[in-house]
Amino acid sequence: MSVNGVTSGVSAYSNYTSATKTESAPKAAESQSTSSAAAQSGVVYEPSKEAVEASAKKTYTPNTELVNKLKADVEARTSQLRSLVEKLITGQGNAIGNSDDIWSFLRTGNFTVDAETKAQAQKDIAEDGYWGVEQTSSRILDFAKALTGGDPNKVEQMRDAFKKGFEQATKTWGDKLPDISQRTYEATLKKFDEWAEESKIS
């Protein structure tokens, strides 16, 4: 056997092993990368003690500025409505002895209204009016949220307070409240339902 044959065999073997090592190097690197990614995906996030305490201690503060603004607005509008009713009563030539007589008088519907007063009243109770169903129900909910600071745990408490207020208004009126009041009642309860649902999602 010649030396050249051995030398070329050794050379061919060396080339083969070198090529094999070169091909397997990327596979090894890929394997390491995959195992590293697997290890990373297995990591579980644990919030810090501070983060847990911060979320557990979320506080809800009443929005007194908004409460005062809503109260002032309603008082001004109620005063306007009262003067409208007083003008109406005076125009009928009736003497009203006390507040119960006012509700009795209005409940009967036995009175006439001048065109200007009628137009103002219709504007106020229209769908987009201040005393209309949408604005009134929205105002009630805004007031409830401002009082509680938006605390979702107070939804049912505020709903119960609203129902109680409606019952008291019905007693004061002395009969079933007018249709617009009934529709406002239903719209307000629906808004309380929506608030409760939003609280469950968040």
Residues 37 and 66 in one domain: no
Residue at 55 is within a domain: no
- In this structure, what are the phi and psi dihedrals at residue 150, rounded to the nearest 5 degrees? 80, 15
pLDDT for 56: 58
Compute the C-alpha angle 4/6/12, nearest 5°. 100
Instruction: Pick the more confident residue, 119 or 95.
Output: 119
Q: How many domains does the chain have?
A: 2
Residue at 51 is within a domain: no
Residue at 50 is within a domain: no
Residues 68 and 38 in one domain: no
Determine the Cα–Cα distance for residues 39 and 83; give it in Å rounded to an integer. 76
Residues in contact with 184: Cβ distance below 8 Å, sequence separation at least 6, in sequence order: 133, 136, 137
Residues 169 and 122 in one domain: yes
* pTM greater than the 0.75 cutoff: no
Residues 112 and 36 in one domain: no
Residues 106 and 74 in one domain: yes
Tokens of residue 72, six digits: 């002032």
Residues 109 and 21 in one domain: no
Residues 143 and 72 in one domain: yes
pLDDT for 104: 75
Question: Predicted confidence band at 33 (pLDDT cuts at 50, 70, 90)?
Answer: low
Residue at 151 is within a domain: yes
Question: Predicted confidence band at 92 (pLDDT cuts at 50, 70, 90)?
Answer: low
Mean pLDDT of all residues in 177-195: 96
Question: Predicted confidence band at 145 (pLDDT cuts at 50, 70, 90)?
Answer: very high
What is the DSSP secondary-structure string of 62-91? --HHHHHHHHHHHHHHHHHHHHHHHHHHHH
Boundaries of domain holding 15:
3-44
pLDDT for 54: 53
Residue at 175 is within a domain: yes
Q: Give the lowest-confidence range in 17-21, 114-118, 157-161.
A: 17-21
Residues 186 and 119 in one domain: yes
Q: What is the mean pLDDT of the chain?
A: 77
pLDDT for 121: 87
Write b or e for each residue in 52-68: b if 16 or more Cβ atoms lie within 10 A of its Cβ, otherwise e: eeeeeeeeeeebeeeee
Residue at 52 is within a domain: no
